[in-house]
């Protein structure tokens, strides 16, 4: 604690960042900001823009950048991107704001912030084109957590040869995220081909009965293979969970 | 019609059977018996024992045997089997009653009845042991419709090698029934490997969310491959539908 | 394989088309394109535009046209049609792009491509006006597969005379697709009138409980008649499945 | 009110029956007994045995017999029948207790009670054998309300000829109850054939998706024909509602 | 039949109207038009505009006006109203087109058409302001069927005095439609206060769990009172069913 | 009653307000207005704007202001706010109209109206930013009922320290409303930390399975702690129920 | 703390009870026993016997009796009652075990334990006989919390007079629990008649759609009246929540 | 491959075991046995006894023991345990069969089989007594995979102190399984307290809405913390997935 306080005294750490470190969260205009996840787990604070006004999101981003050096926004629409850019540019000199339109993510970063780097390999696998948004969200958080990422796309099981031909690439991963919509069978098949943990990510593709990702979620929860699951379109959660496994492996490798 | 009436006059055809032919159904003590399906489509009258008392089922079986030469009972419990045996033995000399305990089916047959024979090949494929009951129901009706049946069992996709090794056997079929519970991914994979029509049969295996066959049904309806689906555990329907396709192919081959 | 490679050498086959033939899919800018279905089953590659950007759809169409000679887009909105037209016109001289506004389908075709022709008859039956879109999707794929198509419209069971009067037309078909929304009773009644296989196509018409096609789907799965089912509004799947049956009958007739 | 009190004084009316008339219900050991329905609408008090102990049901029956002259029990199992018989026999000399095993109904009646008689005709129509229990419950209440009842059984739409052949019988009714399970299409077809009101009664027959009467209920609510619906297996409600219509017609005929 | 044909010969009846009378439907450009309901049950042909293009609706309206003298459109948006007006004005001289914006209904009528008049009284009861649209749909069809209509509005049970004060008005009706959203308790309370049949009409008001009319529908199907139910927002069905009861009473009164 | 009538005579009370007092509701152009809740329970009349036209809402507001001195509108969009302002300004001199954009509430108040004041403390607790709208609706009604309100925001359980640090503030309340979306665990944790009653308010935040507040509602109903629940986003109901408890405590304190 | 430790030293308090007081829970053979609720909120520890073996329940009961003086078991079957009696009799001299068969509750009490007494009145209201079990569970916990309880039974809204006649009794309560199954309308009507808070308790009575208490729960959550809700059959929760309100009122009255 | 074949020749490896190694599965009387999971992932073959006859399960166990040295049965009832014991004892000398009654698991092991040992720590955390069965299933598979297991029981969030007091124990784990029923909030709270990956295991405890584990599953999928989820009661899957993470960490530690 002494170190932290001295950093504050030296002007190296803002009071907000210091409070975040000490209490696990910072009391700001935008509310109580939960810095614990970033601080302890190395997961960047992720702000779900759905259900918030652009202004609310921008305030939270600013707080995150100021206390932890960065922020990740998911489900960002144009108005949110605009609001964040304006607020961040005005408040933090030389901050960067990067967006991925397909994944609907935004990363704001303070000038001196340096993302970590892990000695662990995560494969992000998709069944088809429509899985790109959810997979992109997962990729965004994995990048922030420092994992090496292999994208293996378009290997849906309707033509089983596509995934069989990727056997080597799949087996090279320390942990895998497998995204699929419709019937969501790809994670089951992949989990039967590798010996690393598989995190299944159902995607809201499809129509009629079981559409909106319901069939994919149900199939993954019922899978005959061993895998764990996140919610429909929860790319951030899948990415962060894979990142935690990668961190554990990285730590074990370094010891 | 003249022929039918003369057969009645000659005692070769019972009045009930004659009425069934002429009206499409026969009015019996057990109700209006629908003989049209047997007569026109060659599908044996199937009596779903669930929701009926053993006595009601036995009466319907008897009527079916007397008017169309045979009856198929599905979801038959022990009391039903017993009741049917007693009633049929008492009423129809030399009738046979065959049962399949795992599939819970019963076939009663009049002495002179001869099932048809089709020049068409139906593959009945299962993912695992628990699919045996539903597949057995399908097999029972296909046998009555006269198709050549190939059983290909235990080829669930959790170990993709099992189904890949059956590629030849799968491609030999004119039409396929693919049964699976849990995530129900097998029909999707099989339909991507063959060029014949695939009928997907979801099975009520599994637990928790999507259990009772819900995930399998949803996944099959959402399949990225081309296939059509029957209800959960509807082995009879899958078998009869495959049998109709087999009949059409058989007819085309004979012309 | 030698033939294929020599065609490539002779410039008669593009490398992409050759790869599609040999590997079952082609690796393109738009992803791994699954050509196996077209190649083996004669089902045109169908691209579901929902959940894809117009650009993504257009890229996939272009790849399909270049490797298999044609592409079928379903659920195409105006922006998608526009994007496809622009891309195809720019890349493939003399290609044609045909659309059906009500069915929301689009067919792109390379200049030399010639659809097949089958000696088999498919009836596409609708209960009412609102079933036109789903039935149109089925018709589009059947046309590409080469079947002879009979449309029998507006014969919903609320007035049973309408369907009874079409008995002859229904019985002329080798396989039938029956589309209905609301209570979805028409396939059950039709399947009791014919001896050919019936594929039931539930349509998302209706409101309140069981609306959006749920009641129709449930009723078709519970049908007392023998039939198989596709998902709500899955006109493409119904059409392709009927086309596979038609192919099998055609093949049997030719031998 | 004077008349009622004088009847009490004269010993012609029990205090409980008098209270029931005056207050609309009677306060008894078994609780507040709602006599209003019997008194005003002529619907016999119906006690749903499910969810009650045999003793509770028996107490309610006794109160109903003592205050209104009769009671109708639905969903009665053997223990309930036994308990009711014992209690009624002990308390009311010459009372009768009639049961219908298939319909699971019981009617207890005081010695002098005389059911009404209506100049109105109700058809009770079933699709198949499994609809007998629900239809029997409807029939039981209609009998108590005094309607003339026509049973038309086994006319499910899988063989459309069966119902077409009953056109005359169906059209003779003043109001119809049409019971069906599985896909529940019969009420829709019947309502298109008659000009009297149709009350649709879904039955919990079937399995898999839409089983337990769900598909039937949904289909009836979505019907393209005009009809109103009661809950799954709600034979009593269907019968009583039809009885109310019959009463109204009877009253109109008598004026 | 002779009469009809002579009317055609005399130019008093169009061929379409004659076909409608004889066959039960008319084959028109807009499809097979079901005239049987109007002809036999006196229910005006109702066209559900949802799921149809304005043009399709307008064509069906025109056919209905030409064959049966009138048409009722439900769920009509502005574009549909416009399209109908244009088509009807152009084709039928002196036709009238009346709309009810709140109920979203439209009635088109040929110049000589005269609606019937029934000696029967239907109460249309609502719980609150938000039930006006569904109740208006019911009122529209009842008006076309000729019933005398009493509107009793704003008597929801949260303040029980409101409905108690309407006891007399409620008891004056021969048949009642009771519309309610949210918890949908009003029909249960009303059905306990009257001796005429009650048709419950759930309305898609409310939010959260049981919103969109689900709670109301479920509560009405579970009602402890005797009543029958139509689907959520199915004002037309409720009105037509009440109209059929009113017709039966009217007929009985006239004999 | 005499007092009321004399107030009317004196012009101190409008006839509508007098009727509302005497009958429990007032008959107005906008329908039967339920004044009983305001009069007896002190809950301001709340008008749910969803499902009503702006005009309908404005009429109801006006009636409420004229009969009870104020009105609370929930789910008010811009058009509704505009319509209310216009109508109220035109009809009631010096009336005030206050809105809360985030909570989507509007309060209209007659010039002399004075809200009550209670000696009771209600804590309104939120898990995060997205709960602000629902919590704001609760706060609006509590303010009108006169409770002292403590807002405790941003204490979701993902970082348990935040809520632990508010232990004192939570324990100071006489009754608590705890709002949360997503998994909705906060009310369970809070209810384990205090001895006052907790009312749980699920919020429609989240996506995929259990989204739209379903998981939160289910979790609150399943809570291992003791608490009662209102519907998803039912901020008004939570506020009014807490207000009733506060009134009871206030009354007990004053005696 | 000093007091507690001195009580232990004096043998007046068992170490388990002391730990429970100090830590909020006691570590026992039967697990970590949560004594906080009893200690802070005065709610007796309630053990849900469903999902536990009789032995597990008995162990938990024993721990509760030893640390807090009593235990309440809900959903107790015969085997559980037997196991608890045996264990408690063997371990705690002069302990009492009282059961309520209909409510399926059991209360075990140490010899010197004395339940509290509150100056507050709770009405427990039921719609009908089938609500007795859930209401009994609520009553059991209220009795342990010391409230004065008024039972008002059999006042379901199908006959509205029954509840109207209880207006005085209902208004006498400080807080009300209203239990109902089927359509669950009673709490809505009662909440419109009183000014005290109402807690709605849905009961799993009914069948078909909305059965098992679903319609009642949904209707209560959608109620137009102000009330809060507990889960289906959650009599304990309803009782304890009402008890907390009663405690708050009692405390306010005593100050 | 040569090594394997020589082992067969030397009698050290059965033909079945050799086939399992080479093909990934073994063709046996009990079907195609999938040995790949055991062989590659070190997960013992788990046989779900639900949906299989005791004989079928016993056959599969025997095959597993003979080819991979052991078998794990889940959801084993008494008849299954008996059948397995009989079959294994008869076929494999000195085999052991261990069962866990609460977890309903059975482990059969060949005499020379030695489970692996991992340098990794897995915490298995439960909210309460009712979670023991699911947690026991997870523990059984983890034991077979060789992980060090810490059980942390009875720390449900209704009394937050219990879990806070276990902070150290929780943080010592490399990966955690957190089991909870009812509202399922524990995994969310735990995941906010540790930096290792958390696998959430919902348990089918609870009743009413969200019962049977639905609320727990939904809440875990909606969690504001980062975690992945398995199906309701899927203790085996949770255990195996945690085991795979433990294996990866163990491997990284050994390099």
- Among G226, G24, G184, residue whose Cα is nearest residue F199: G226
Nearest CA to A209 among B96, D79, G183, C220? C220
Q: What is the pLDDT of residue G19?
A: 84
Pair of tokens at residue C115: 């659809």
Is residue B135 within 8 Å of residue B179, measured between CB atoms? yes
* Chain G residues in contact with E188 (beta carbon < 8 A): 157-158, 183, 185
Cβ-contact D54, D79 below 8 angstroms: yes
CB–CB contact A219 B219 (8 Å): yes
Dihedrals phi, psi of F68, to nearest 5 degrees: -125, 0
The pLDDT-based confidence of A133 (bands split at 50, 70, 90) is: very high
Residue appearing with tokens 């449309």? C151
Say if residue A41's pLDDT is above 80.
Answer: no
> Which residues, 6+ apart, have CB-to-CB distance to F42 below 8 Å?
F116, F145, F146, F243, F247, G195
* Integer Cα distance of C166 and C164 in angstroms: 5
In a shared domain, residues B200 and B141: yes
- Considering only CB atoms, C189 lies closest to which of D157, D184, D218, namely D157
Subunits with 3+ C-beta pairs closer than 8 A to E: C, D, F, G
Hey, which residues does C149 pair with through a beta bridge? C122
Note whether C253 contacts B255, CB cutoff 8 Å.
yes
Measured in residues, chain D has a length of: 255
Mean per-residue pLDDT, E96-120: 94
- Is the predicted pLDDT of residue H41 greater than 90, yes or no? no
> What was the pLDDT predicted at H255?
82
User: B–H: how many Cβ contacts below 8 A?
Assistant: 54
pLDDT > 70 in chain C, percent: 100
Final residue belonging to a domain, choices B109, B138, B169: B109
The DSSP line for F183-217 is T--HHHHHHTT-SS-EEEEE-----STTTTTHHHH
Inside any domain, residue B135? yes
A250 and A167 assigned to the same domain: yes
H159 in G contact zone (CB under 8 Å): yes
Specify whether F158 is located in the same domain as F80.
Answer: no
Does a structural domain hold residue F21?
yes
- Strand order in B175-180's β-sheet? B148-152, B121-126, B175-180, B198-202, B228-229, C228-229, C198-202, C175-180, C121-126, C148-152
CA-angle at C217, arms to C215 and C223, nearest 5°: 95
The kind and range of the H/E element at D48 are strand D46-48
- Please, which residues have CB within 8 angstroms of residue D210's CB and are 6 or more apart in sequence? B231, C217, C218, C219, C221, C222, D183, D216, D218
Which range of residues forms the domain containing residue F58? 2-109
Name the CA radius of gyration of chain A, rounded: 19
Tokens of F87: 């109508």
Does C210 touch chain E if contact means CB atoms closer than 8 Å? yes
Contacts of D175 in chain E (CB under 8 A): 245, 248
Q: E62 contacts in C (CB within 8 Å)?
A: none
Identify whether the C-beta of residue F102 lies closer than 8 Å to the C-beta of residue F128: no
Please check whether residue H199 lies inside any domain of the structure. Answer: yes
> What total of structural domains would you count in chain H?
2
What number is the ipTM of this complex? 0.94
> Would you state the pLDDT for residue D119?
97
pLDDT of residue G26: 82
**Is H215 a residue whose pLDDT tops 90?**
yes
What do you get for the CA distance between the two ends of chain C, in Å? 27
How confident is the prediction for chain B on average, in pLDDT? Answer: 93
Within a domain: C48: yes
Query: Is it the case that chain D and chain F have 3 or more CB pairs lying under 8 Å apart?
Result: no
How far does A245 lie from chain B, in Å, by closest CA?
A: 23
Neighbors of chain A with 3 or more C-beta pairs under 8 Å: B, C, F, H
E155 in G contact zone (CB under 8 Å): no
By the 8 A CB rule, do B220 and B254 touch? Answer: no
* pLDDT tens digits for range F203-248: 998 899 999 999 999 999 999 999 999 999 999 999 999 999 999 9
Q: What CA dihedral angle connects D237, D239, D240 and D245, to 10 degrees?
A: 120
- H109, H144, H170 - which closes a domain: H109
What is the least distance, in Å, from the CA of F97 to any CA of chain G? 24
Interface test with F, best of A51, A64, A67 (most F CBs within 10 A): A51
Query: What is the chain H residue with the closest CA to F164?
Result: H160
CATH of residue B229: 3.40.50.1970
Q: How many CB atoms lie within 10 A of CB E99?
A: 18
Same domain, G138 and G229: yes
The answer to whether the beta carbons of residues H216 and H206 sit under 8 Å apart is yes
A142 shares its domain with A104: no
- List of chain A residues whose C-beta atoms are within 8 Å of the C-beta of residue B127: 224
Alpha-carbon distances of E185 from E156, E235, F94, H82, rounded to whole Å: 8, 17, 39, 55
Average pLDDT along chain C, 255 residues, taken 10 residues at a time: 85 82 81 78 89 92 91 96 96 95 96 92 96 97 97 95 95 98 97 96 94 96 97 98 98 92
Give the model confidence (pLDDT) of B112-121 as tens digits: 898 899 999 9
Instruction: State the maximum Cα–Cα separation within chain H, in Å, rounded to a whole number.
Output: 63
Q: How does strand H25-28 pair with strand H31-34?
A: antiparallel
* Torsion sign over Cα C29, C34, C36, C39: negative
Residues in chain G with pLDDT values less than 50: none
Say if F115 falls within a structural domain: no
- The chain G residue lying nearest E157, using CA atoms, is G189
Q: What is the mean pLDDT of residues E227-238?
A: 98
**Averaged pLDDT of chain F:** 93
3-class DSSP state of E225: coil
Q: Taking the CB of residue F77, how many other CB atoms lie within 10 A of it?
A: 13
DSSP result, A184-251: --HHHHHHTT-SS-EEEEE-----STTTTTHHHHHHHHT-SS--EE--TT-HHHHHHHHHHHHHHHHH
Are residue G86 and residue G188 in the same domain, yes or no?
Answer: no
- Model confidence at B6, pLDDT cuts 50, 70, 90, reads confident
Enumerate the residues of chain F whose CB falls inside 8 A of the CB of residue H225. Answer: 158
**Which letter does DSSP use for residue B129 in this model?**
G
Provide, as residue numbers in chain E, all residues whose Cβ is less than 8 Å from the Cβ of C130: 48, 51-52
Cα(A42)–Cα(E91) distance, integer angstroms: 73
- The answer as to whether G115 is a domain residue is no
Angstrom distance (rounded) from CA H151 to CA H239: 13
A chain contacts of residue F162, beta-carbon cutoff 8 Å: 24-25, 32, 34
**Interface present between D and C (3 or more CB pairs within 8 Å):** yes
Q: In this structure, are residues F106 and F99 in contact, taking their beta carbons and an 8 Å threshold? A: yes
Cross-chain residue pair E160–G193, CB shorter than 8 Å: yes
> Across chain B, where does the E strand assignment appear?
25-28, 31-34, 46-48, 70-74, 96-100, 105-109, 121-126, 148-152, 175-180, 198-202, 228-229
Q: What is the mean pLDDT of residues A106-114?
A: 93
Nearest to B219 among A127, A185, A191 (CB): A185
pLDDT of residue E229: 98
**CB of E111 within 8 Å of any CB in chain G?**
no
Cα–Cα distance measured from residue H149 to residue H235, given in angstroms and rounded to the nearest whole number: 14
- The residues that bridge with E152 in the sheet, in sequence order, are E125
Q: State the helix-helix crossing angle for G78-91 and G54-68, rounded to 10 degrees.
A: 40
Torsion of CA E212, E217, E218, E219, to 10 degrees: 110
Q: Is the pLDDT of residue F100 over 80?
A: yes
Q: Are H213 and H126 members of one domain?
A: yes
Q: Which of H159, H182, H213, H214 to mutate to test the interface with G (most CBs of G within 10 A)?
A: H159
Which CA distances in Å does B86 have to B49, B50, B102, B103?
16, 19, 21, 21
Looking at residue E115, the DSSP 8-state letter turns out to be -
DSSP code string of E75-86: S--HHHHHHHHH
- Best E252, E253, E254 member to test D by mutation, with max D CBs in 10 Å, is E252
Parallel, antiparallel, or unpaired: how do β-strands A175-180 and A198-202 relate?
Answer: parallel
Q: Within an 8 Å CB–CB cutoff, is residue F255 touching chain G? A: yes
Share of chain F above pLDDT 70, in %: 100
**Higher pLDDT pick, F152 / C28:** F152
CA distances (Å), origin A36, targets A17, D188, F161, H60, H228 = 11, 61, 10, 48, 19
**pLDDT tens, position by position, for chain D (255 residues)?**
788 888 888 888 888 788 888 888 888 777 787 877 787 778 998 999 998 999 999 999 999 998 889 999 999 999 999 999 999 999 999 999 999 999 999 999 999 898 899 999 999 999 999 999 999 999 999 999 999 999 999 999 999 999 999 999 999 999 999 999 999 999 999 999 999 999 999 999 889 999 999 999 999 999 999 999 999 999 999 999 999 999 999 999 998
Domain stops at, among H79, H109, H139:
H109
Q: Which residue has the tokens 């009003």?
A: E186
State the chains in contact with F (3 or more Cβ–Cβ pairs under 8 Å). A, E, G, H
Q: Does residue B250 share a domain with residue B130? A: yes
Q: Do chains F and C touch (3 or more CB pairs under 8 A)?
A: no
**Is residue E1 assigned to a domain?**
no
Q: F200 and F86 in one domain? A: no
Using a CB–CB cutoff of 8 Å, tell me whether G196 touches chain F: yes
Q: Provide the whole-model pTM.
A: 0.96
**Is H46 in a helix, a strand, or coil?**
strand
Residue B114 falls inside a structural domain: no
Residues H54 and H92 in one domain: yes
* CB D126, CB D152: distance < 8 Å: yes
Convert the pLDDT of each residue in H73-114 to its tens digit.
Answer: 999 999 999 999 999 999 999 999 999 999 999 999 999 898
C201/C142 Cα distance (integer angstroms): 14
Cα within 13 Å of Cα(B32), Cβ side: 24
Q: Categorize the per-residue pLDDT at H28 as very low, low, confident or very high, splitting at 50, 70 and 90.
A: confident
**Section E188-205 average pLDDT:** 96
pLDDT band at B17 (very low <50, low <70, confident <90, very high): confident
Quote the pLDDT of residue G34: 80
- Residue H100 sits in the same domain as residue H14: yes
The torsion of the CA quartet E150, E156, E161, E167, rounded to 10 degrees, works out to 30
Residues 218-237 of chain H whose Cβ lies under 8 A from any Cβ of chain F = 218-225
CA distance D125 to D190: 9
G143-161 in b/e form (b: 16+ CB < 10 A) is bbbbbbbbebbbbbbbbbb
CA gap D106, B173 in Å, rounded: 56
For residues A207-216, average pLDDT: 94
Length of chain E: 255
Question: Which pLDDT value is given to residue H16?
Answer: 80
Three-state DSSP class for residue H192: coil
Complete DSSP assignment for chain C:
-HHHHHHHHTTSS-HHHHHHHHHSEEEETTEEEE-HIIIII-PPPEEE-TTS-HHHHHHHHHHHHHHHSEEEEES--HHHHHHHHHHHHHHSTT-EEEEETTTTEEEEE-TT------S-EEEEEESSGGGHHHHHHHHHHHHHHT-EEEEE----TTSTHHHHTTHHHHHT-SEEEEEE-TT--HHHHHHTT-SS-EEEEE-----STTTTTHHHHHHHHT-SS--EE--TT-HHHHHHHHHHHHHHHHHHHH-
Backbone torsion region of residue E70, taken as left when φ is above 0, otherwise alpha when ψ lies between -120 and 50, otherwise beta = beta
Pick from E165, E87, E69: nearest CA to E125: E165
Which of B77 and H18 is assigned the larger pLDDT?
B77
For residue E7, pLDDT beyond 90: no
Q: Tell me which residue has tokens 């009319």.
A: E213
Residues B104, B145 share a domain: no
The shortest C-alpha distance from F186 to chain H (Å) reads 9
Q: Are strands E70-74 and E105-109 parallel, antiparallel or unpaired?
A: antiparallel
Pairing of strands G148-152, G25-28: unpaired
Quote the percentage of chain F above a pLDDT of 90: 78
């Amino acid at each position: 604690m002494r170190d932290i306080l001295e950093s504050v005294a030296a002007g190296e750490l803002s009071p907000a960042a210091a409070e975040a470190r000490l209490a696990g969260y910072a009391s700001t205009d935008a509310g109580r900001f939960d810095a614990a996840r970033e601080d302890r787990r190395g997961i960047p604070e992720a702000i779900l823009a759905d259900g918030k006004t652009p202004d609310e999101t921008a305030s939270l981003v600013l707080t995150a950048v100021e206390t932890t050096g960065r922020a990740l926004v998911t489900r960002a629409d144009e108005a949110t991107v605009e609001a964040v850019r304006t607020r961040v540019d005005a408040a933090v000199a030389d901050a960067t704001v990067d967006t991925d339109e397909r994944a609907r993510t935004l990363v704001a970063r303070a000038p001196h912030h340096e993302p970590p780097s892990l000695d662990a390999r995560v494969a992000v696998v998709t069944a088809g084109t429509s899985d790109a948004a959810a997979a992109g969200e997962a990729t965004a958080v994995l990048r922030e957590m420092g994992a090496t990422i292999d994208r293996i796309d378009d290997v849906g099981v309707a033509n089983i040869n596509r995934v069989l031909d990727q056997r080597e690439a799949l087996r090279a991963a320390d942990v895998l995220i497998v995204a699929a919509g419709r019937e969501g069978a790809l994670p089951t098949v992949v989990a039967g081909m590798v010996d690393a943990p598989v995190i299944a990510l159902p995607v809201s593709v499809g129509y009629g009965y079981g559409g909106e990702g319901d069939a994919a979620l149900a199939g993954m929860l019922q899978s005959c293979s061993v895998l764990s699951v996140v919610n429909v379109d929860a790319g951030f959660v899948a990415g962060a969970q894979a990142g935690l496994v990668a961190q554990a492996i990285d730590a074990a490798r370094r010891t």
